[in-house]
A and B are shown apart, each in its own frame.
Chain A
Amino acid sequence: MSKIVSRNVNRRDFLKLGGIGIAAAIVPTLISQQSKASSPLAGKNLAMVIDLHRCVGCGSCSIVCKNENNVDGDVFWSSRISKTTGRFPNVRFEYITTLCNHCEKAPCVRACPTKAMHKGDGGITKHDPDKCIGCRYCIAACPYGVIHFNAGKSHEFWRDDKPLIEGATPSAREVTQAVNGKVIPYYNPARELDKPGTGLRKRGIVEKCTFCDHRVSKGQLPYCVEACPTNARIFGDLNDPNSEVSRILGKFHGMRLKEELGTEPKVLYVRTYSTGTHPKTKGSV
């Protein structure tokens, strides 16, 4: 049964509808075909180029990611690796912003026993929460640590019922109720438009960056790209020789994280975080 369930109908809902015999047999196939034919991302090879020279390590990408995708406190779909190296006064601080690499050869997809983790149109590594059984093989397989498991309910902070000052401040839950949000007051409903019920992630499954598939499928940029104030993130189709990502990678070496593992990440870094030059020298012996 699960084999023929298309992207547009989740498994559990479909089972509910099992009683409607004829529909169950026909609908999935129909929709599956229709969706393939009409997918604006079909045939694309989507990638993100991150210009570390333009990046200033401000973290806007990671904050807006939480905002766009309703991501909980200790979860980061977009994150960072930073380190300070050297000895005073020859010290360097480096910062690399990270996210799911949407690997061409994604270890998480290979590891997933239920095909919850799968490659979608445009080469996006997608995750189907309805197929996820929470086994966490994907987390073990991912060399980049960008997949998160939800052990508990999301956004416990916003489910708190206790006010700070009785009668004078609301509780967290009261705020969300007052503004008619969904668990979080600034809940973004756009996240679940393509797949209702996925605006927040359930307990017992994994979650990760989707390249903002809900935006990209409508011709919009991933929100981290859109909101980056430095224009350090460039998004596009590697199959299109005229795309900005293709042009930039024609000019600069695209560094990929843990290249040696052969995962072929679709997130590529160009130039370096330290923008400075240095005086001419041959050094000394």
Chain B
Amino acid sequence: MTMRNETKQSGNPISEEELMNSDIKKLNRRDFIKAAAATGTAAVLAVSLTPTLKALAANNQITSPADEIGKWKPTTCQGCTSWCSKEVLVVDGRAIKVRGNANSKVNGPASCPRAHMALQQVYDPDRIKTPMKRTNPKKGRNEDPGFIPISWDEALNTVADKIMELRNNQETYKYMLMRGRYSYMRDIIYDRMTKIIGSPNNISHSAICAEAEKFGPYYTEGEWTYRQYDVLNANYILCWGADPISANRQVSYYLSAWGDASDRATIAVIDPRLSASASKADEWLPIKPGEDGALASAMAHVILVEGLWYKDFVGDFTDGINKFVAGQNVNESDFEEIYTHGLVKWWNIELKDKTPEWAAGKTGLPVDQIKRVAIGYGKAAPHAISWVGGGPVMQVRGAYASMACHALNGLVGAVDNIGGTLKANKEYTQSFPGVDDYLDDIAKEGKSHKKIDHRGRLEFPALNQKSGGGVVTNNAADGILNEDPNEIKVAIGYMNNHAFSCPQDERWFRALSKIPFVVHLTTNASEFTWFSDIVLPSTHHMFEKWGYVKVHGNGYRHVTLNQPVIDPVWDVRTDETEIPWLIAEKLADRGFDNLLRHYKSYIDPETGKEPTNGQEFALYALKHATHKLWDPEEYQAGDKFNGWEDFRSTGVWNSAPYPFKKRWGAMKTDTEKFEFYSETLKRVLGEHAEKHETTTDEVLSVCNYQARGEKAFVPHYEEPFTHGDSGDLVLVDYKSRLNREGRSANCSWYHEFKDLDPGDESWDDVAKINPIDGKKLGIENGDRIKLVSPTGELECTAKLWEGTRPGTVAKCYGQGHWVYGKVAAKEFGIIPRGGNNNSIIPADYDRLSGSTAYYGVVKVKVEKV
């Protein structure tokens, strides 16, 4: 017999709804004990219970399944770029649990480990609960900003005054907006606000993410995006530095699929350290850092010599006889390609001499393993995935490794194929209203200036589809420091932390110190905040914000909503929508109302109403952007909804299933084919050279690539470029399975479980060194050591570990915060907990993509402390 039955018998039934809303948490422990006592006696003494006690007894004896206390509410996790659709269990306005949103066809109910830590972020005691201003006018790493709380009004007035100063002096191009992680509400603050104020300087974080990963796919198959991988139908999965069960994209999905995928496919992981994925793979190829291009070329060589290329996609020799023989040129006219372009050119220019024996010398891998993996991969065609992660490509000269590793997909016909590598499915969100009607002469003039990151200059081609089409995020620090092309006077950053996440972080310390007025929109006082003048506390993206993101995996694309599933814990506002609206209001007060008038044009598609405040604005903007997904009259494809509320309460829209092979012969390259000889790159690189009145060879020379002539247009091997000749070990940076990008370190679960990354230790930050090197360097397990590079140093603990390739030191990114919070920093503002890898990585670039180099880029000295 349960208490609930008893209550019913005693004539005091509780409805299901009351149960859902029951105020369990308001019972303190003493109440519970009292109630428990009541329970024990209730059977016999029900008549003697006071009404109050009865109510208490009823409340604490709820017999409905535990998860039916409260309500699961849909939202989105942006802890990493998986962007999973989630549900949060909310009890009396309190978020208590997280799970995958089963309505998503991308992630389903699966949830990776780091998603749960979002709870420790939203309730982080070190979150900023009110706007702050700096009281110490001096800025620097060792200058305590002396932050004091101020009102939103004061904060926004100050920001608006500074922007108006630029407008009044007609120097709006000295305004800068730095974007970190974002939802697709981003254009409101990133694009529209920057343009209407009148600046070219909206600088995204993309080039410190993985732009080089997109370079290979773009210049072979015309897609500047991340791929999705059909792992459940694959027979071979080759991971280049990718660690899908830890830290690449769609981690939750791949976690759920990996067991079945590995039942079917052979999995080979190429990584200088034993990653989580390597630990579960059939083959671990512990390659020397930066030599991935050599392995890729050798694999292509073997596949061609062995006749294993996929003939239905690539084509064949006209007489059917394989003429790919090591060291010998082939006549182009002897081979008839179908959906690819330039196979024989690739062979003649690059591959013919790239034997496994040659590659073994470069990569440090055994010849038989190179052959075995190449043949295994080739024989699995066309269901053979070559999965290019950040490791081999976010390097100096990484663009060509990106092409080389990705080109294998073309060779085996895995592109756009079942069990292969896919692009994103079509989705139907729409952009926000345009700005043209709101740009005045000051804005138009300001906007015409050059950008602070130097994209498109001779030495920074950043070829995202065109010369200067991409961003060179980390170079913006140098632009600011050198006032090149101009000084920056007012800067706003949101959900970013360049002073932590960009290599050679001290450049950002100086750059941010130099800017007279810096505003930070953030949840925590981070390294970037340390150099700021005004700090605006932001909502947490998963619990307190309206927004949406779109992402693909498992053969689908979903559009999932960020929703305010709880009331904001503190006096915070949403970075991408409410705060720009509030700034717009303040600018309008000062006689410049263009931005506010623009924002007021975002009308609610349901009611036709114009927004009257920041919260309405956020909601209307979101409804506008996703209009075609939820309005049955605008229906295009994929999931269908009855209206906004139907969509909102489901939380996610799924696309139609993937249309396999639809792009065969219709790729967005210049030839519409998969280009082994990239006519597209030849054109774009040519345009860049022409812009600077020079040759492509000169561009390549200035940009530190080795290729000259025709080689520049085919996937090929380039030797790694590594700083720090006198160093002991090459740094192998990697990402933790618990990293919520750089924002996990103030969560206790992060440290309690840090050992989930193979080789790492709980509550420590260890540099993993092979015992062979440990002996050579006189380093023992547990020694406090310094890693010293030409541009900086960090202190951490040494760990001798067999999973590290000799000659390298593997260390995880994510710790080394000297601010952010009490847990993240050992002593807030003063001493970091662990070491930040970006303190020892020099600022260098894969210039063709604009990407910052993180891997294989520096040799460090190891010193005992």
Contact = CB atoms under 8 A, between A and B. Distances in A.
Contact of B113 (A59, A157, A164, A176): A59
Nearest to B252: A229
A178 interface: yes
Nearest to B92: A180
Interface stretch (A103-111, A144-152, A183-191, A257-265): A183-191
B752 interface: yes
Given A54-B259, A192-B32, A229-B111, A168 B753 contact: no
Contact of B33 (A60, A180, A196): A196
A191 to B, nearest CB: 8
A13 B117 contact: no
Contacts of A275: 259, 262-263, 267, 280-282
Interface string B626-651: 00000000000000000000000000
Nearest to B368: A279
Contacts of B92: 180
Nearest to A93: B279
Contact of B40 (A31, A54, A68): A31
A10 B28 CA distance: 17
B43 A27 contact: yes
A173 B828 CA distance: 19
Contact of A60 (B116, B259, B286, B772): B116
B255 interface: yes
Interface stretch (A14-22, A117-125, A134-142, A240-248): A14-22
Interface size class of B (residues with CB under 8 A): 35 or more
Nearest to B119: A186
Contact of A38 (B1, B110, B132): B1
Interface string B49-67: 0000000000011111111
Contacts of A67: 96-97, 116, 119
A276 B267 contact: yes
Given A60-B116, A63-B116, A274-B280, A185 B94 contact: yes
B63 A218 contact: yes
B65 A215 contact: yes
A27 B42 CA distance: 9
Contacts of B749: 63, 66
Contact of B132 (A54, A165, A176, A197): A165
Interface string B454-472: 0000000000000000000
- A80, A189, A214, A229 — which one has the most chain B CB atoms within 10 A of its CB? A229
A215 to B, nearest CB: 6
A169 B126 contact: yes
B123 A190 contact: no
A59 B95 contact: no
A88 B805 contact: yes
B508 to A, nearest CB: 21
Contact of A84 (B44, B245, B259, B274): B274
A49 to B, nearest CB: 14
Given A54-B259, A160-B125, A180-B94, A30 B245 contact: no
Nearest to A183: B29
Interface in B503-529: 525
Contacts of B748: 73, 157
A5 B396 CA distance: 72
B125 A172 contact: yes
Interface in B817-836: 821-822, 828
Given A66-B749, A88-B770, A23 B802 contact: no
Interface in B86-103: 91-97, 99-100
Contacts of A66: 749
B207 interface: no
A34 interface: yes
B54 to A, nearest CB: 15
A170 B129 contact: yes
Contact of A189 (B2, B91, B805): B91
Nearest to B258: A56
A56 B806 contact: no
Given A164-B821, A214-B66, A51 B259 contact: yes
A220 B66 contact: yes
A172 B66 CA distance: 26
A89 B273 CA distance: 10
Interface in A80-114: 80, 82, 84-89, 91-95
B256 A230 contact: yes
Given A168-B132, A181-B25, A229 B100 contact: yes
B662 interface: no
Contact of B525 (A53, A169, A176): A169
Contacts of B305: none
Contacts of B2: 38
B740 to A, nearest CB: 13
B803 A57 contact: no
Given A58-B113, A165-B147, A175 B63 contact: no
Interface stretch (B175-183, B198-206, B712-720, B755-763): B755-763
A58 B759 contact: no
Nearest to A226: B99
Interface in B120-138: 120, 123-130, 132
Contacts of B1: 34, 38
Contacts of A165: 128, 132, 147, 525
Nearest to B89: A188
Interface string A23-44: 1001100110010001000000
A63 B117 CA distance: 8
A13 B25 CA distance: 21
A229 B255 contact: yes
Nearest to A180: B25
Interface string A247-285: 000000000000000000000000001111111000000
A9 interface: yes
A103 to B, nearest CB: 26
B41 A170 contact: no
A171 interface: yes
A132 interface: no
B793 interface: no
Contacts of A239: none
A227 B111 contact: yes
Contacts of B683: none
Contacts of B803: 84, 88, 91, 93
B147 A168 contact: yes
Contacts of A187: 25, 94, 96
A167 B148 contact: yes
- A74, A85, A276 — which one has the most chain B CB atoms within 10 A of its CB? A276
A164 B752 contact: no
A185 B29 CA distance: 15
Nearest to A178: B569
A225 to B, nearest CB: 12
A126 to B, nearest CB: 17
A168 B113 contact: no
A73 B752 contact: yes
A84 B758 contact: yes
Nearest to A14: B40
Contacts of A178: 569-570
Contacts of A163: 125
B125 A174 contact: yes
Given A180-B26, A230-B258, 16 more contacts: A13-B37, A63-B117, A88-B286, A88-B772, A163-B125, A165-B128, A168-B130, A169-B129, A170-B127, A179-B123, A189-B25, A189-B91, A193-B61, A197-B29, A197-B33, A274-B280
13 contacts: A27-B40, A53-B259, A54-B258, A63-B113, A85-B802, A86-B802, A164-B125, A164-B525, A164-B821, A165-B128, A168-B147, A169-B128, A231-B259
Interface of B: 1-2, 24-29, 32-33, 35-37, 39-41, 43-45, 60-67, 69, 91-97, 99-100, 110-113, 116-117, 119-120, 123-130, 132, 147-149, 245-246, 252, 255-256, 258-259, 262-263, 266-267, 274, 276, 279-284, 286, 372, 525, 569-570, 737-738, 748-749, 752-753, 755-756, 758-759, 770, 772, 801-806, 821-822, 828
